[in-house]
Structure 1
């Protein structure tokens, strides 16, 4: 059996490696003409995602270029400490959640897939596919084709595969936020390594962590009408944080602000599979980054899919079992993450209420026990 994997982000190589573990050949087809080096800033790989990578024997390579970030402290824009929560739960071997450059994560999983003999073809933007009794044939924008037994979509929130599989599928849903991020080397700002400081500012949301080397990794979420793009984002960001009781504005002044990404998620997607084609990762259930679960869910998907294919009589049964197992979990994560994103875009009145209620919310809804459903999940082959 051979699977055509559409997309070479995190989910594509993870899926190919998982399928290879159960004896299924896989080849990855990436739309862009080259690998995704220097794309985006950084992201969280939660402990459940690292546990999934461990199943694939790929977690140590990711940890080599990552920064441990097991804790989060919440602050108001006025400087009031709102509370502390765990960023994931410690694994049995002591591993905690880590933050990693997006480009490093992409490169690590892609290179590991390559070392295992999995081929990746670039410049292969999917145009259409034909699903028949004998297999599935994908046609790419450059005129080439590829044929296999399965077509697995790992092509992200703007998935072309999803649009072909179900033309009535809902499209991405804007969260009301633009995302920014950067790293300031030897910034000189104080902070406890391993702790994310999350600031619910007066006009925007700011997060940062200080590494052992003294670098400061930061990100910002700015409420903004979609498409309202200024000539230069930097002064807009500085103004948004100027009145907050922290060094966020100063940190942005010392940073390059080149990339602004509108944050989208997906409402529930009714159809995940049809015939020999299946949606996974962000193509099926894109979540906003507020819960730090996007990459982790994609890796979990890969493992569950491989197990279902190995243990089922055919792909139709496997796809149905996969959806039945994954849909409740991932849709719960998407909803949870959207709730957090909505709190970042609160208006003046809602901000006051949020800051008053946040300590209570953190104790009741964001404790280790209350979030065990998200972090204790164990994907297994």
Structure 2
């Protein structure tokens, strides 16, 4: 997602680029994700937003429930002040939308089925090995933008500290034709665990995520028992999932350097700053990265100035989102009786007040052209 968004941001500025992707074809992978207004403002500049909205479901609120009773604690508005929506969507649907939009651009050369090998300085440029079953292709470029995820091979080759285990595990599953969320995005908050459910595939399916300590059983057959005393409606959704997939949650060190090889290589998205999903901002931060980096590449006098300005702008925002993620992790998992205080405070606040807490996040706008 970060790479395709980056390519589209460059193309709309009439800058040609090559996208090198390991997979031999872009197929359905992953699970659901949430696209908040800050991300959708970027995507609206790149392609048909109505088409993207048709692939997902627009949410007005995130409803927080007490784990055991299912009683609503608070309903947090998530659409932005300017009317930009909040979208839940399957990752594959977003990827196919980005890929189709990229394929329509003459400025984007998408090369599938290639691994990146050695990346090295070659005079003022970089020499990049693109390795496929047919051999090794040598690419010459002024800049490499590494958008290769939390387990970034590029970061490994640069000798950077790898992603750290966070002690949390996400179980992801899909419900088709079974009990669905009552509306919008729903979350159940419990001691050491929480659950999130939201519609995907245009509302035809539900994406269900159960997050718990990584020290528990990794047998999905044990999940119903661990959530047996939770809300019955959530239990029905758990029972209706065909198969759960376990995802150990990792995070990239906050101090990871982003700029390398004399400002000829930069990490973006999860490769630069993967974080826990407690604010549902992983995809959004990668999409924002692309818009901001493309803007600085367009305006700066040289690459070093562009990358330096990009990092100066992005790091404070990434750090603020990380801080919010940590706050959510603490608050979501409060044990009894501390959870009673949390619930009382949330219930006492107005919708406008709850929305104001996240205005700094959702009201962000991409740089003007």
TM-score by length of 1: 0.86
**Alignment partners' CA distance in 2, 1:153 and 1:133:** 20
- SS of 2:245's partner is coil
Residues 122 and 176 of structure 1: is their aligned pair in 2 closer, same or farther, counting only changes over 3 Å?
same
Residue of structure 1 equivalent to 2:87: 98
- SS of 2:230's partner is coil
Task: Say if 2:74 and 2:346, in contact at 8 Å, map to a contact too.
Answer: no
Residues 88 and 291 of structure 1: is their aligned pair in 2 closer, same or farther, counting only changes over 3 Å?
farther
**Alignment partners' CA distance in 2, 1:255 and 1:271:** 40
Q: Deviations over 1:264-294 (max 9, x none)?
A: 2223134211220011111111122221111
Task: Say if 2:190 and 2:333, in contact at 8 Å, map to a contact too.
Answer: no
1:335-374 correspondence runs (5 A): 335-344=323-332, 350-360=335-345, 363=349, 367-374=354-361
Alignment of 1:205 with 2:194, yes or no, is: yes
Which stretch of structure 1 is more off in the superposition, 276-285 or 133-142?
133-142
1:267-346 correspondence runs (5 A): 267-274=253-260, 275=262, 276-344=264-332
1:147 to 130, 134, 140: 140
Task: Say if 1:171 and 1:266, in contact at 8 Å, map to a contact too.
Answer: yes
Task: Say if 2:173 and 2:244, in contact at 8 Å, map to a contact too.
Answer: no
Residue of structure 2 equivalent to 1:54: 44
**Alignment partners' CA distance in 1, 2:326 and 2:286:** 18
- SS of 1:64's partner is helix
Residues 213 and 156 of structure 1: is their aligned pair in 2 closer, same or farther, counting only changes over 3 Å?
closer
Residue of structure 1 equivalent to 2:99: 110
Task: Say if 1:39 and 1:102, in contact at 8 Å, map to a contact too.
Answer: yes
Q: Deviations over 1:198-238 (max 9, x none)?
A: 1013563112246896744422112222xx663x41x2211
Residue of structure 2 equivalent to 1:6: none
Residue of structure 2 equivalent to 1:160: 153
Residue of structure 2 equivalent to 1:248: 234
- SS of 1:60's partner is helix
Residue 29 of structure 1: how far off its partner (Å)? 0.7
**Alignment partners' CA distance in 1, 2:225 and 2:342:** 26
**Alignment partners' CA distance in 2, 1:209 and 1:53:** 21
Instruction: Calculate the aligned-residue CA RMSD, in Å.
Output: 2.5
Alignment of 1:377 with 2:364, yes or no, is: yes
**Alignment partners' CA distance in 2, 1:157 and 1:215:** 27
Residues 374 and 215 of structure 1: is their aligned pair in 2 closer, same or farther, counting only changes over 3 Å?
same
**Alignment partners' CA distance in 2, 1:173 and 1:59:** 35
Give the aligned length: 358
Task: Say if 2:268 and 2:286, in contact at 8 Å, map to a contact too.
Answer: yes
Residues 322 and 214 of structure 1: is their aligned pair in 2 closer, same or farther, counting only changes over 3 Å?
closer
Residues 108 and 334 of structure 1: is their aligned pair in 2 closer, same or farther, counting only changes over 3 Å?
same
2:169 to 163, 178, 188: 178
- SS of 2:355's partner is coil
Task: Say if 1:223 and 1:345, in contact at 8 Å, map to a contact too.
Answer: no
Residues 157 and 188 of structure 1: is their aligned pair in 2 closer, same or farther, counting only changes over 3 Å?
closer
Residue 319 of structure 1: how far off its partner (Å)? 0.3
Task: Say if 1:48 and 1:88, in contact at 8 Å, map to a contact too.
Answer: no
Task: Say if 1:202 and 1:241, in contact at 8 Å, map to a contact too.
Answer: no
Residue of structure 2 equivalent to 1:5: none
Q: After TM superposition, which residue ranges in structure 1, 4 or more long, deviate above 6 angstroms?
A: none
**Alignment partners' CA distance in 2, 1:101 and 1:210:** 9
Residue 141 of structure 1: how far off its partner (Å)? 4.3
